[in-house]
Structure 1
Amino acid sequence: MTGDSSAEQQNVVSRAADAVEQASDTRALDVAARLGFAALAVVHILIGMIALRLAFGGNGEAEPTGALEEVAEGRFGPLIMWVCAVGCAGLALWQLSEATLRARHLGTGERLGKHISSGSLVLIYGSMAGTFARFALGDGPDSSESTVDFTRSLLSSTFGVLLVFATAGIVLGIGVHFVVKGARRGFRPELRTFEDTARGRVIEVFGVVGHVAKGLALLLVGGLFVIAGLDRDPQEATGLDGSLKALQYHPVGVYVLTAIAVGLVCYGVFAIIRSVFGRM
């Protein structure tokens, strides 16, 4: 009797999960998630353009909040920020359904990987939605200062240096993931159609260059976390803006900065393509 009762309870839970999964597969969530990819495109293209400006002697803050600040101060800035906030929130909800409802259909190993990857994206996209909302309300943060404050709080804790190195490891790991994903064309399954045509090859170029460039940018950020941990100096962890500006003072840094800038723009273009032709 106990076994039958347990099996019946599992069936009820399974049917309930199926119902919730079907309910989550709505047109509204699909549109919101695609809007979120478009919001990511805006951020990456703006960061890339600011980085190009830096490479040619200009100024600006080559990080997400610096890019968003330039848009938020425009005439339609608050409206754009709210639209992007809704999009990123939708993207976070979509990844949450991927990490929970849809992941249960996978094998044990794949399911664990999906929990980690999609679960991390829930936090990232949710944080971005909050950042967009803050800019819409006129209270946008400075990510470079936030990174320094975050590193300072880690270093002041009992296991501070280890925590900084752990953070560096996570950022470096994500950077390697993007480089490998770009080099191996791992983004192909994310697209609804990918014909072996001229259009498909162009899309592939944007995907490869964009993913590799984003990975390199994250590797630079992770490297600064390592330096901050070694020197026990939170001022070394200046985020993406600080890592890109540091390239200006190296002999070939301007060329590397230009390449990364162009690559980030390519990633933004790929995100637009993903928003239109992506599998959801």
Structure 2
Amino acid sequence: MADEDTALAEAADAAEAASNTKALDVVARSGFAVMALLHIVIGAIAIALALGQPGQAEPTGAIEQLAANPWGPAVMWAGLTGCAGLAVWQLSEATLRARHLPAGQRAGKFISSGFLAVAYGSVGLTFAGFAVGMRGDSGDSTRDFSTTLIRSPLGVPALIALGLTIIGIGIYFIVKGIRKQFKDELHHFEGTRRGQVISALGVAGHAAKGVALILVGLLFIVAAATNRPGESTGLDGSLKALRDHAAGPYLLTVIAAGLISYGVFALIRARFGRM
């Protein structure tokens, strides 16, 4: 038994060493840059929605915008590569490197980084779909997923649990922004005027991203509570639902500006952030 534990530990150490390669670092950083660009485009689409224009304020809509430019196919494959690398890096964070954390932090890291690994992998698959000419609607995909899940045994509790998890991650982003915990990841400009601007972008961006995630999570819970899976329409649906309220366009504009701020911050983090 001891020999088996030792062999497993050695295999985990070898896998962790492999995940620390320069190549994966570069690809993961490019993935951060891709996600940053998507946040900027989603924020721009959200501003258009607030002004009454059509659009899809979610990753599929943003990727569709990027695919429409002359370099679209190359951008799609580059996006797929970056997101795949970032998903692998987050998966290693959730498993291999989380081994060294105290037991109390290990579960949280597994959930947060594991969720991000799935999210980045999903965005990568969307890039792949556009690259090979298979375009979809993430709102439809979310509805289909919710419908399938809610019809399964324990589907309603599972959908509620998913919504609560997304809300929890949203709260984590808000707290991280308010407490400026992102400075642990980005300290290159610490103590400079430029650093103050980057810090402000980080606070606004993390808070806006957190609010957007909470809205998405709430739609999952509403869908489960009312047994209407069509209500869970992802980020685009949650932002459009917000827009339809009295002060919705103003709130949507604030969230959109925050998402753009997060995108700019994430671009800087992609280049200078600690991995």
Q: Same fold (TM over 0.5)?
A: yes
1:2-44 deviation per Cα after TM superposition (whole angstroms, max 9, x unaligned): xxx83x6655554444344333322211110000000101111
Q: How far did residue 197 of structure 1 move?
A: 1.6
Check the 8 A contact 2:59/2:123 in 1, yes or no. no
2:54 equivalent to 1:35: no
Q: Pairwise CA RMSD of aligned residues?
A: 1.8
Q: Match for residue 156 of structure 2?
A: 161
| Residues 208-237 of structure 1 deviation map (CA, whole Å, 9 limit, x = unaligned) | 100100111111112222222232212221
Q: Which residue among 129, 135, 146 is the counterpart of 1:140?
A: 135
| Helix, strand or coil at the partner of 2:55 | coil
Contact kept in structure 1, 2:24 and 2:85, CA below 8 Å: yes
CA–CA distance in structure 1, aligned partners of residues 50 and 258 of structure 2: 13
Question: In the TM superposition, what is the alpha-carbon distance from 1:176 to its structure 2 partner?
Answer: 1.1
Which position in structure 2 is the counterpart of 1:261?
256
Cα distance, 1:140 vs structure 2: 2.4
> Contact conserved, 2:76 with 2:131, CA < 8 A, in 1?
yes
Letter in 1 for 2:258: G
Question: Which residue of structure 1 aligns with residue 177 of structure 2?
Answer: 182
Cα distance between partner residues in 2 of 1:144 and 1:232: 17
Q: Could you say if the C-alpha distance between residues 167 and 19 of structure 1 is closer, same or farther in structure 2, counting changes exceeding 3 Å?
A: closer
Q: CA 1:26/1:57 → structure 2, altered by over 3 Å: closer, same or farther? A: same
* Structure 2 residue 58 is the aligned partner of structure 1 residue 93: no
Which whole-Å deviations, capped at 9, do the CAs of 1:120-154 have from their partners, x for residues lacking one?
22222222211111111111221111111112122
- Higher Rg of the two aligned structures: 1
For residue 68 of structure 1, report the CA deviation from its aligned partner: 0.7
Aligned to 1:70: 65
Indicate if the aligned counterparts of 2:84 and 2:121 stay in contact, CA closer than 8 A: yes
Give TM-score, length-normalised by structure 2.
Answer: 0.93
Distance 1:210 1:102, change over 3 A: same
- SS, match of residue 35 in structure 2: helix
Change (3 A) 1:272 1:232: same
- Aligned counterparts of 1:68 and 1:237: Cα–Cα separation in 2: 21
Cα distance change of structure 1 residues 219 and 113 upon mapping to structure 2, 3 Å threshold: closer
List alignment gaps of at least 5 residues for structure 1.
none
Contact 1:188–1:194 (CA under 8 A) maintained in structure 2: no
Moved more, 200-209 or 108-117: 108-117
* Equivalent-residue separation in structure 2 for 1:15 and 1:163 (angstroms): 36
Aligned length: 275
Where does structure 2 lack aligned partners over 5 or more consecutive residues? none
Distance 2:222 2:244 in 1: 17
Runs of 4+ aligned residues of structure 1 deviating over 3 Å after TM superposition are 8-20
